[in-house]
Amino acid sequence: MNYKTVGISLIFLLCALSLSAQQDGTFAAYKLAPDETLVLDGRLDEPFWSAVATATAFRQQEPLEGQLASEQTAVQVAFDEKNLYIGVRLYDSEPGKIKAYQRRRDADLATDDFFAFILDTYDDQRSAFYFETNPLGMMGDGILRTGQGSTINRDWNGIWRVWISRDEKGWMAEFRIPFMTLNFNPNNDTWGINFLRTIRRKNEITLWEGYRRNQGIERPQDAGKLTGLSGIHQGLGLEAIPYAIASGSQRRLDPENPMQGQHSFNAGGELNYNINPNLKAGVTINTDFAEAEVDDRQVNLTRFPILLPERRDFFLQGANVFQFAPSSNPNPYFSRRIGLQDGRPIPIRYGGRVIGRVRDTDIGLIHVKTGEAGELPGENFTVARVLQNISSESTIGAIYTRREMEGDSLPVRETFGADISLSTSKFLGNKNFQFETFFVGHTPTFFNDSSSLMDRSVRGLRFNFPNQPWDAHVSYREFGIRYNPAVGFVPRVGFRRLQPTITYNPLIEKSNVLRELSWQYYFEYLMLMNWEPATVNHRLRFLGLRFESGDILNFSVLHNYEFLDFTFDILRDGAYLIPEGRYQNRGFSIEAISAPFRKIGGAVTWTNMGFWTGRQTSLEADIFMRPLIGLNMTLSYIHSKVDLEQGNFKTHLLRLNSSYDFSPWVSINFNVQYDNVTERLGTNSRFIWILNPGNTLFIVHNHNWQRFLDRLRPMEIQSTIKLAYTFRF
């Protein structure tokens, strides 16, 4: 007997059986027997793994759409009553060329080889939990929600772990995800699931299901199915997260006054309870955000305020539920309105939230009580969101916010809105098509406010065709002249806006140099409420090049029209005043982006553009350096040279972000920022030690200086130590 022939035949038979088991994108999870044990070391050498169904046959999304992956991947799933286990073997014919730089949790893995997967625990094709790792054991996660495009809330930090090992065949990963970390329907034993692998040196992206360019890991409607998940539970579902914090600070109100110091100790925490596997309730007392990153400083030369991202964990958890027409930005709820005033923290006395699902309805409810801060009285904030699933990929929803200030200086301010999102992934056979419409209005902002509801509301609609190589959308919206949601954010009001965009991104399959070409036309026509043009923008990317190396070049021409109906003070200091009038501006921009896996690289954008009565030349550069594994440094420089009839000036903004990650559990971060408009220099240093997932020690030091009489004088010094611990029952 020819044993070699028999062996090869058996291998092909096993592969055929594996492929047969997943022809329809479905495979079964393996339930561990009571006597089967799992040693979590990233090696997949326990005997039971040989009996577990395997998902293989990953296919390329890029560079050769639909072709089998150049390096194969095998994924297996097992579970017991408390945890889900995912074992992954990532084969690599050249393991010495595997790229891995990142260790810090939620680091950007555009630099690395990595493996990611989603769990659509309701099997509703609308939302999913997202997890990822790399060959260094970095842990990344988030919550995914579809809509007008897909967004991953990467600020969600679940409690789970991954173990990694490497050998001559590639690398392996073992994940343990407690069911208490997830929300799910205990009566449904089928979840949506999909897997993605990136081989960075080849710029190859492969997926198990949904590998077409208009699909991907962020579309749970294109995922496969995981079956057999029965007999799982979350224990009591009770989670307590107490914290203790000690801080010392010195401040002065202006550079001529002496520093005044104070010390404080505080304690508080959160208590969360899973009402059922679908619905989680929580309360927080004496909420503190000392560990949050500082905001990136901005130099704002526009007429409108800039939206800064939320960085506080309490408001980030479940934030995807509260999203409302995110592509149109009516922003009826903006969490930085709660507990912050001009960037300064306002004490939060207590808060509560309920987030989850009841049958086919997503719900979110937040109530927060803030304390007094100087002359600011305490306030009560309430936010409620309901999102009902309809048909296979669509939703209809409503939002409500309420803000009540103690005292009688302002009325109770309430905001209400409704939105509809209709989506299909089967338009013209296999294309994506989406429609969205919304309305938001609010009660009067002040006593004796005589404005109409139309003045205090926004409304709009949007058609979206998110596909490849063609991608297009068109939107129309109206923002009333008195629209000002009390718990929201709006930079500009009193306009009607039409905005279409069309993009063409063909892949070049027979080139060893070019991966993709790109052309895009963006048009914005913004009118005042009397239909008079206020802002008109044309932006034509007449050539975009994405190379096989991962480097990108974009060339664009720009045209802008502005109607200015008031005198605009550019620097807010009276030095450069732009008179009322109509202004035509023309220019161009060049953008260069290096492949992110390089040890030294970055992105540079140079723009030369008309600017009011003159011209503006701007340079934006982000240069990264990774001399060692775990060491990441990014130097950002934003420079503007403005020449006007009223005079000339230059602005400079410099940021240095650096970090060293000793492991996925221990890191040091240092941030320094300076700009010549405010003439403030600030540093933020953070030491983070994750003792175990959910148990973290933070040490934070902030130091800020202000230029005064040609010297920098310290304005604020603050040091904080915080320990947060998680107990699960």
Domain total in the chain? 2
Three-state secondary structure readout of 150-190: EEEECCCCCCCEEEEEEECCEEEEEEEEEHHHCCCCCCCCC
In a domain, 633, yes or no: no
Are 315 and 187 contained in the same domain? no
Give residue 306's pLDDT.
Answer: 87
Domain boundary among 455, 470, 490: 490
d(CA 572, CA 416): 34
Per the structure, the complete domain to which residue 94 belongs is given by 18-227
Token pair belonging to 249: 């600070």
Residue in the structure block whose two tokens are 């043009």: 533
Are 318 and 412 contained in the same domain? yes
d(CA 552, CA 593): 5
DSSP tag of 235: T
In a domain, 291, yes or no: no
In a domain, 345, yes or no: yes
Residue 697 pLDDT exceeds 90: yes
DSSP tag of 467: -
Are 194 and 56 contained in the same domain? yes
Strand 614-625, strand 600-611: pairing: antiparallel
In a domain, 616, yes or no: no
First vs last Cα of the chain: how many Å apart?
A: 59
Q: What is the pLDDT of residues 188-212, one digit of tens each?
A: 899 999 999 999 999 999 999 999 9
Are 312 and 432 contained in the same domain? yes
Give residue 147's pLDDT.
Answer: 63
In a domain, 549, yes or no: no
Token pair belonging to 194: 């999909």
Residue 368 pLDDT exceeds 50: yes
Are 221 and 326 contained in the same domain? no
In a domain, 153, yes or no: yes
d(CA 121, CA 182): 8
Domain boundary among 178, 210, 227: 227
Q: What is the pLDDT of residues 248-261, one digit of tens each?
A: 999 988 878 888 88
The residue-averaged pLDDT of 300-322 equals 84
d(CA 476, CA 26): 41
In 11-160, at which residue ranges do the beta strands (DSSP E only) sit? 26-28, 30-31, 54-55, 59-62, 73-79, 83-91, 114-120, 127-133, 140-147, 149-153
Are 221 and 360 contained in the same domain? no
Cis peptide before 533 (omega within 30 of 0): no
Q: What is the mean pLDDT of the chain?
A: 90
Are 217 and 352 contained in the same domain? no
Are 209 and 311 contained in the same domain? no
In CATH, what number is assigned to the domain containing residue 162?
2.60.40.1190
Are 332 and 222 contained in the same domain? no
DSSP tag of 17: H
Global confidence as pTM: 0.84
Cα R_g (the chain), whole angstroms: 27
In a domain, 344, yes or no: yes
Are 157 and 64 contained in the same domain? yes
SS3 446: coil
Do 662 and 669 contact (CB within 8 A), yes or no? Answer: no
In a domain, 271, yes or no: no
Are 222 and 346 contained in the same domain? no
Are 314 and 168 contained in the same domain? no
Give residue 383's pLDDT.
Answer: 97
Domain boundary among 203, 227, 251: 227
